[in-house]
Amino acid sequence: MSFDFTRRRFLVELPAAIALLLADRGVARARSAPAHPTPRAGITGARVLTRQQLAATPKFIPLFDSVREIPQVIDGIHCNCGCTDPPRFYSLLSCYEDTGMARECYICQGQARLAVRLHKEGKSLDQIRSAIDAKFG
């Protein structure tokens, strides 16, 4: 079997090969993207860590306070950090409650910062989810 692959043929076929690889990657990403949870009825920010609980990490107080203000939005976002235990963690809001793993996780922090900013800009939950998926998904 003869394999005659010239430089010209390589240069002609390279863009198609790259396009195919990128298309496959996009399809795989879309298939593997987790579904966002439905915000729970009556959800509040009452369990989000407080200023007193964050005394050792005061730089996070503004972020946790912002999350506490929009629990209905944060509860509708899947956390993409990968360090959550699914039975215990329902949404990104869970990362700001109890042990407050968001104090140590840049992904949890980044997703919440983006969600808070977009919410302040008047974006809908679906628009916020799309932006988070594009950046962190």
The pLDDT averaged over each successive group of 10 residues in the chain (137 residues) is 66 68 51 79 95 94 97 94 71 89 92 98 97 91
Structural domain boundaries of the chain?
58-136
Residue 32 has a pLDDT of: 57
Residue 39 has a pLDDT of: 95
pTM, two decimals, is 0.74
Residue 21 has a pLDDT of: 62
Residue 82 has a pLDDT of: 75
User: What are the residues whose beta carbons fall under 8 Å from the beta carbon of 73, sequence distance 6 or more?
Assistant: 39, 115, 119, 125, 128
Angle (deg, nearest 10), helices 61-69 and 106-120: 50
